[in-house]
Amino acid sequence: MRYLPFLFAAAFALQACSLSKNTTTGNENPVVEKIWSQAPHNAFTDLIRFKGAFYCAFREAEGHISGADGKARILRSKDGKTWESIALLEVKDRDIRDPKLSITPQNRIMVLMDVEAHEGKKVISRKPLISLSDEGGDTFSTPEVSTVDPSIASWSDWIWRLTWHKGTGYGILYQQEKIYLVSTKDGRYFQHVSQLVLDGRPNESAIRFNDNGKMYVVIRREAGDQMGVLATAEAPYKEWSFSKMENRIGGPDFLFLNQQTLVIGTRQYQPKVSMVIYVAGLDGKVRKTIPLPSGGDTSYPGMLIWKGQLWASYYSSHEGKSSIYIAQIPLQLLDSKPPTY
């Protein structure tokens, strides 16, 4: 019996250690783990599952701002806990940014990236860049520059994310003031589909489809009132409707939780900069906010639903250094009270 006080103390210490890592003993809160912090700046993530494993992609560089040192790192994990690096994609004297993952109709992982050239500190060229995995997702091809439809091509063509639907990949290409819907069959050539006429310097955009093939696009805006916009269009995706959100967004990704509810991962700007998950209606109006441990330089999630949980990769500098995190959020939490830490 003289060992009992010691056992109580040990149990209390273990519980305190667990809570300090933002994990929980039940299912009431997200479980968040840091998975990578080896580069000076680790950021701009995406997340998919392929052949029974998670794949997480992100940029490694000296800092957030463009330079000639940006590379795309790809990690793989069978269980979402233990991660191994399987690829580091780079182009000499170029900055690779925002690697985004998708699975092609040929059942390969495609990594879509922005590649930038510089003169000094000035960006003089932005082009889409792709790399493809082998059949098993074990190796990735040497990055190659894609071609943009000459009718809309400019010196600055950034296709930020790709979503496949019925054998065609769709993405939003953004330039200095304009955004276009483009399509591809192979990632090597992007065809102009339509322009989304929208003010406020629209840029980073994510595309999803409902069960009837209607396209939804969540769009970041950097000027005017800076509020996000939810755009929709029916096939052939040439006539657009717009719903202005009541929130400013940054680095967005989103999924359909069901046919009436969207789950949007984004940077939240007020009351402080942080990474959050919004639960919203089909009009983009936010019904609930789930904060994740974050702060400072943060956001740019990748998201998927697996085994009753929303999995989200993101980066944050709240612990001092910009690092990569994985959050597991029980789906029931998306319909209940916000978590507490």
Residue at which a domain ends, from 140, 164, 188: 164
Domain span holding position 159? 44-164
| Residues 215, 119 share a domain | no
287: left (phi over 0), alpha (psi -120 to 50) or beta: alpha
Q: How many domains does the chain have?
A: 2
Q: For residue 269, count other CB atoms closer than 10 A to its CB.
A: 14
pTM (predicted TM-score): 0.90
Answer yes or no: are the C-beta atoms of 70 and 61 closer than 8 Å: yes
Query: Is 187 domain-assigned?
Result: no
Q: Are 220 and 295 within one domain?
A: yes
Assign residue 149 the CATH number of its domain: 2.115.10.20
80 and 121 in one domain?
A: yes
Specify whether 142 is located in the same domain as 49: yes
Q: What pLDDT is stored for residue 27 in this prediction? A: 52
For residue 300, give the CATH number of its domain.
2.120.10.10
Residue 289: the pLDDT is 96
Is 287 domain-assigned? yes
| Rounded Cα–Cα distance for residues 28 and 243 (Å) | 32
Sheet holding 84-89, edge to edge: 41-50, 53-61, 71-77, 84-89
What pLDDT does residue 340 have?
57
Residues 144 and 201 in one domain: no
Q: Are residues 210 and 296 in the same domain?
A: yes
Residues 252 and 326 in one domain: yes
The three-class DSSP label of residue 6 is helix
Dump the DSSP string for 180-234.
EEEEESSSSEEEEEEEE--SS-EEEEEEEE-TT--EEEEEEE-STT---EEEEE-
Residues 136, 242, single domain; the answer is no
Which amino acid belongs to residue 106? Answer: Q
Indicate if 126 and 75 belong to the same structural domain: yes
Query: Which of 164, 184, 212 is the C-terminal boundary of a domain?
Result: 164
Tell me how far apart the alpha carbons of residues 305 and 319 are, in angstroms, rounded to a whole number.
Answer: 27
Report the distance separating Cα 40 and Cα 24, nearest Å: 29
Question: Do 159 and 214 belong together in one domain?
Answer: no
218/130 same-domain check: no
Q: What is the CA radius of gyration of the chain?
A: 20
151 and 236 part of one domain = no
pLDDT the model gives residue 335? 81
- Identify any residues that bridge with 173 across adjacent strands, giving them in sequence order: 159, 180
Domain boundary pick from 139, 164, 189: 164
In a domain, 182, yes or no: no
CA nearest neighbour of 47 among 106, 99, 12, 125 = 99
Per-residue pLDDT of the chain (341 residues; tens, 9 = 90+): 333 333 333 333 333 333 334 433 345 689 999 999 999 999 999 999 999 999 999 999 999 986 788 999 999 999 999 999 999 999 999 999 999 999 999 999 999 999 999 998 899 999 999 999 999 999 999 999 999 999 999 999 999 999 999 999 999 999 999 999 999 999 999 999 999 999 999 999 999 999 999 999 999 999 999 999 999 999 999 999 999 999 999 999 999 999 999 999 999 999 999 999 999 999 999 999 999 999 999 999 999 999 999 999 999 999 999 999 999 999 999 985 555 55
Please classify residue 36 by burial: count the beta carbons closer than 10 Å to its beta carbon, then call 0-12 exposed, 13-18 middle and 19+ buried.
Answer: buried
Query: Would you state the pLDDT for residue 120?
Result: 87
